[in-house]
């Protein structure tokens, strides 16, 4: 298979779909949002995960089109949920690091919101720490546009990049997602790990940012992220990313564990 050509075909059809992974408030276990995670259903190859095709799309120049398809999918889904009487929580959409410095991006997002009659606050955008230093001024400009539009931005995978602290100070963002590698090792055997997470939470809160713990897989990790003051949490302990029709079942106001 020529994956690039196959992706081109997929972008013209219904083969690209979006799964949703729920996020919960640590304070009361209620649903706070969901992260949109793209999936590609190939007729012969089966389910292809984004680690395989996002980098490909970035190299091949198909990322713009892929991003439009994902945003259209998410905005349409929010509209459909509302039409059937469901209240969708805020949906986080990942933006490719390669695209964040693009000055056209805010207009593209606004067009999708308008097309489906969705207000900007229904979305949250996730950017990764690997946004290039080279495009830093452009990135700041783009994020300021999003802020004026009323769309919050999260810094994803926090702690894995190289310039975390200078980014935090410069980027106009509202949320910080602690990378799952920090959550994985939380436990009595590794008190240093709790110290690191605790420091990140304090730093973020002092900067006025909300903190999301990613990759919570065990009850013990859950205990730690609550104790350490994270505001929201997400991970396999609660749910993997699931198709929209399965995510819908969570929209009735249920708490984790109920």
Which residues are near ligand G by CB under 6 A?
21, 36-38, 49-51, 54, 70, 94-96, 156-157, 180, 214-217, 234-236, 241
Using CB under 5 A as the binding rule, the residues of this chain from 140 to 169 that contact Mn ion are 156
Q: Which long-range contacts (CB under 8 A, 24 or more apart) does 134-141 make?
A: 135/100, 135/101, 136/170, 138/101, 138/102, 138/103, 139/100, 139/101, 139/171, 140/170, 140/171, 140/172, 141/103
Beta-bridge partner residues of 34: 22, 91
- Smallest gap, in angstroms, from Cβ of residue 137 to ligand G? 22
Q: Among 129, 156, 231, 232, which residue sits at the site for Na ion (rule: CB under 5 A)?
A: 156
Nearer to Na ion, 102 or 129 (CB): 129
Is 234 near Mn ion (CB under 5 A)? no
125 binds, among Mn ion, ligand G, Na ion, none (CB under 5 to 8 A by kind): none
Nearer to ligand G, 37 or 186 (CB): 37
Cβ neighbours of residue 116 closer than 8 Å, sequence gap 6 or more? 72, 75, 76, 78, 79
Which residue is nearest to Na ion, using beta carbons? 156
Nearer to ligand G, 84 or 236 (CB): 236
Question: CB–CB of 211/197 below 8 Å?
Answer: no
Stretch that binds Na ion, among 107-115, 167-175, 210-218, 225-233 (CB under 5 A): 210-218
- Smallest gap, in angstroms, from Cβ of residue 2 to Na ion? 30
54 binds, among Mn ion, ligand G, Na ion, none (CB under 5 to 8 A by kind): ligand G
Q: Give the H or E element holding residue 127.
A: strand 123-128
Tell me, rounded to whole angstroms, the distance of Cα 13 from its chain centroid. 24
Handedness of CA 221, 211, 89, 27 (dihedral sign): positive
The pair of three-digit structure tokens given for residue 236, joined into one six-digit string: 């396999």
Provide the binding-site residues for Na ion, judged by CB under 5 A: 156-157, 214
Provide the binding-site residues for Mn ion, judged by CB under 5 A: 94, 126, 156
């Amino acid at each position: 298979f020529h994956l690039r050509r196959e992706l081109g075909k997929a972008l013209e059809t219904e083969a690209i779909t979006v799964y949703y992974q729920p996020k919960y408030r640590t304070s009361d276990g209620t649903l706070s949002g969901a992260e949109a995670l793209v999936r590609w259903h190939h007729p012969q190859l089966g389910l292809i995960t984004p680690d395989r095709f996002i980098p490909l799309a970035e190299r091949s120049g198909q990322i713009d089109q892929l991003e439009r398809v994902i945003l259209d999918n998410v905005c349409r889904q929010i509209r459909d949920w509302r039409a059937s009487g469901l209240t969708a929580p805020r949906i986080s959409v990942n933006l490719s690091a390669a695209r964040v410095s693009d000055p056209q991006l805010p207009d593209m997002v606004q067009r999708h919101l308008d097309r489906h009659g969705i207000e900007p606050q229904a979305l949250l955008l996730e950017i990764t720490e690997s946004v290039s230093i080279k495009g830093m001024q452009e990135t700041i400009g783009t994020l300021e546009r999003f802020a004026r539009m009323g769309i919050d931005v999260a810094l994803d995978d926090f702690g894995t990049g190289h310039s975390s602290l200078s980014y935090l100070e410069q980027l106009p963002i509202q949320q910080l997602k602690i990378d799952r590698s920090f959550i994985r090792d939380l436990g009595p055997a590794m008190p240093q790990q709790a110290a690191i997470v605790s420091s990140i939470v304090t730093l973020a809160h002092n900067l006025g940012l909300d903190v999301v713990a990613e990759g919570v897989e065990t009850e013990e990790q859950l205990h730690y992220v609550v104790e350490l003051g994270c505001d929201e949490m997400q991970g396999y302990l609660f749910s993997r990313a699931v198709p929209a029709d399965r995510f819908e079942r969570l929209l009735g106001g249920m708490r984790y564990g109920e």
